[in-house]
Structure 1
Amino acid sequence: MTRAFGRPLAALALVAALGPAGCTGEAPEPAPTTTEQPSASAADPSVAPSAAPTAAAPVLVPGGSAQQNLPFFAQVVSGVWSGPDQVSGRAYIDALTAAGFDKSAMQVTADYSTIGNAAESIEFAVRLGDQCLVGQVGPSIGDPVTTVLPGLSSGGCLIGQTRTIDW
C-alpha cells in the first residue's frame, strides 16, 4: 500500500468500524421503578388518603412591596389575557382595580396608535412605594410579561405618553 492511499483508507476503515456502533438496534426500555410508600389507609381503612398539597393561590398583600404582590399581579394579568379583551388597557385597569390595587396609582398606554391602528403592545403599571408592577401584553409580545421595576423620579412608572384613566 502506498502512502497516498494509506491515510484515506485508514480513515475510511475507522468510519466503517465506528459507523455501525450507533445502529445496533433499539435500546431496551428501562424497567419502571416504583417506590412503595406506606399508606395510612392501607394500615387503617378508616383513614382516608389525603390529597397532595397544592400551592396557595397568590393574594394581594395590602401595604406589601411590589415584589410581594408580583405573583398576584401576574395572576390578574393572565386572567385578562385569557379573556376576550386581551389588548384593551381598560380591561387590565378594571381587573387590577377589582382585585384591590389602587386605581390612582395606575398608568396605561393607548390601545391604538396615533393613526388609528391597533397597538402592537400595551403597557400598564401600578406604583407601590418606590417600585412599580409593570405588565406588557399584545400581539407582538406573545404571552403577557410582568415584572417589578423602579419607579420614576417623576412619580410614575411608564416612560412616554400614557392615557388618562378617567373612568
Structure 2
Amino acid sequence: MTSRLGTTAVLALAGAAILVGAVGCTAAPSVSDPTSPPSTNGSAAAATPTATATPTTGAPPTFRPELSAEENLASFDAVNLAVVAANASAGGRDFIDALVAAWFDRSQMQVTPDRTSVDLQADSVQFAVLVHDECLVGQYGPASGGYHSAVRPPLGTGGCLVGRTRPIDW
C-alpha cells in the first residue's frame, strides 16, 4: 500500500512538472501598440515579453530574410531582449547595432533620438525594421514599462515610425 501511495505521489509530481514546463514554453502574447502610451491598468507588464518567457532549450531564433515580419518577430525580440539584459539603460544605437549584427537590414531601419529637443533623456526609444512590407517595431524605456514589440503595417510615407527619427549613419 505504501508503495502504491509513493507511486501516485511521484506521478502527480511529474504531471505538475510537465504542466509547468509546457506553460513556460508557450509563446509570449502579442504586445500592444508601441506608439501608444502604456496602459495604466497593469496589463502592459503582463503582456511584455521577457527573457524568461523564451524557452531555454535549443538555439535562439535567427533572422531569416525570406520569412515575413511576423515570422521574424521572435528573432527581433530575442535580439532586443539580449540588449536589455546586457544594458538596462540601452539606447537606440545599442538596439540598431545588435539588430545589424543579427543580419537585419540596416538600410530598412529607423530609430528615434535618445534625447529630447530640450536635451533631456528620452522616456523611451523606438526602433523599427521594414521586412517585406511590414514593420517590426520595438520600444524600450522607463515610460513604456520596459520592452515592447509589435508587427505593424508601414506608414503612408513607407517608413515605420511616426515623428522625428535620427539618421543611422554610424
- The alignment's TM-score, normalised by the length of structure 1, stands at 0.67
Asked if 2 retains the 8 angstrom alpha-carbon contact of 1:122 and 1:138, the reply is yes
- Calculate the aligned-residue CA RMSD, in Å: 2.2
Identical residues among aligned pairs (%) = 44
Alignment pair present for 1:153 and 2:156: yes
5+ long unaligned stretches in structure 2 = 1-5, 15-55
Larger Rg: 1
Quick one: which of 107, 122, 125 aligns to 2:110? 107
Q: Report the equivalent of 1:33.
A: 9
Deviation at 1:157, TM superposition (A): 0.2
3-state secondary structure, aligned to 2:120: coil
Asked if 1 retains the 8 angstrom alpha-carbon contact of 2:134 and 2:152, the reply is yes
Asked if 2 retains the 8 angstrom alpha-carbon contact of 1:85 and 1:91, the reply is no
Asked if 2 retains the 8 angstrom alpha-carbon contact of 1:87 and 1:111, the reply is no
Q: Report the equivalent of 1:144.
A: 147
Measured in 1, the distance between the counterparts of 2:160 and 2:79 equals 19
1:45-60 → structure 2 map (5 Å cutoff): 54=57, 56-60=59-63
Deviation at 1:143, TM superposition (A): 2.4
Query: Which has the higher relative contact order, 1 or 2, with Cα contacts under 8 A spaced 6 or more apart?
Result: 2
Q: Report the equivalent of 1:164.
A: 167
Measured in 2, the distance between the counterparts of 1:35 and 1:55 equals 27
- The alignment's TM-score, normalised by the length of structure 2, stands at 0.66
Measured in 2, the distance between the counterparts of 1:94 and 1:57 equals 18
- Structure 1 residues 54, 88: CA separation in 2 closer, same or farther (over 3 Å shift)? closer
Deviation at 1:151, TM superposition (A): 1.0
Measured in 2, the distance between the counterparts of 1:101 and 1:93 equals 9
5+ long unaligned stretches in structure 1 = 1-30, 38-52
Q: Report the equivalent of 1:71.
A: 74
Measured in 2, the distance between the counterparts of 1:158 and 1:147 equals 12
Measured in 1, the distance between the counterparts of 2:68 and 2:75 equals 12
Quick one: which of 71, 87, 93 aligns to 1:84? 87
